[in-house]
Amino acid sequence: MATAIRFENVGKRFLVRHQRPFLARELLRSVLQRPSQKNEFWALRNVSFEIQAGESVAILGTNGSGKSTTLALVAQTTPPTEGTVTVHGRLGPLLELGAGFHPDLTGYENVYLNAALLGLSRRQVDALLGKIVDYSGIGDFIDAPIQTYSTGMKARLGFAVVAHIDPDILLLDEVLSVGDGQFAHKCEATIKQFQAAGKTLCFVSHSPSQVMALCSRAIWLHQGRLHQDGAATEVCTNYQRFMDTGEVA
């Protein structure tokens, strides 16, 4: 079986800038003369794993554990600080709600913009446009600027675009937690169609039940490091115990 995603000793460092606030005008000169302080923050450190083509793998972890950073590295929207990330296949990323959308453009216009960022030509989008709009269920709001959309509407339109570009690797970051139950069921049905077609799924979620319904394997990240990688049922059980007790097994 071919490898779809490989992380080899991957680390991702961010520089966090700290600067003392000033409240009085006379402090301005001293603040400007004093260089701001930068602290290093490692979102990931020494993370290695492989995901084979056709696998469905969930990434679990509390806020700040490195889940979204991992998906961003797979999507190649940010480079690793150390180590290597290798991806084989066409990506369908839905990482941040509204990412790739311009707030001043309409839903229609943003479908073309988002699809172009994912590698589709205008002719390809023309052929898919009707299906994308119908799937999203946005209705007449498709002609309204994205800035007027609710969070759930942005999620629905974003997922509709990704679902119709026929990716080899589907990347989802908490999208199923947004919107109504009907939309979530629609997304899950589409995901299962992708799985049946042999596509690869990499999926971030805080819901162990959702993970076990969609994935056979789970990776638990804790404080930027890989804590456990194994069967979804086992990892989810241990993760839920950690959430209940605060103790890392």
107-163 pLDDT per residue, tens: 999 999 988 888 889 999 999 999 999 999 888 899 999 999 988 888 889 889 988
The answer to whether residues 19 and 37 touch, using CB atoms and an 8 Å cutoff, is yes
Residues 28 and 82 reside in one and the same domain: yes
186 vs 16, which has greater pLDDT?
Answer: 186
Average pLDDT over residues 215-244: 95
Average pLDDT over residues 93-103: 73
Tell me whether residue 48 is in a domain.
Answer: yes
pTM above 0.85, yes or no: no
pLDDT above 60 for 214: yes
Residues 85 and 174 reside in one and the same domain: yes
Tell me whether residue 94 is in a domain.
Answer: no
The number of distinct structural domains making up the chain is 2
Strands (DSSP E) found in the chain: 3-18, 37-52, 56-60, 82-87, 91-94, 169-173, 200-204, 217-222, 225-231
pLDDT above 70 for 86: yes
- Residue 176: the pLDDT is 63
pLDDT above 80 for 38: no
Its domain, for residue 120, covers: 103-162
Tell me whether residue 97 is in a domain.
Answer: no
- Residue 60: the pLDDT is 93
Residues 31 and 153 reside in one and the same domain: no
pLDDT above 90 for 235: yes
Q: According to the per-residue pLDDT averaged within each range, which of 73-87, 148-162, 169-183 is highest?
A: 73-87
Mean pLDDT of the chain: 87
Please name the residues in contact with 139: beta carbons below 8 A apart, sequence gap of 6 or more: none
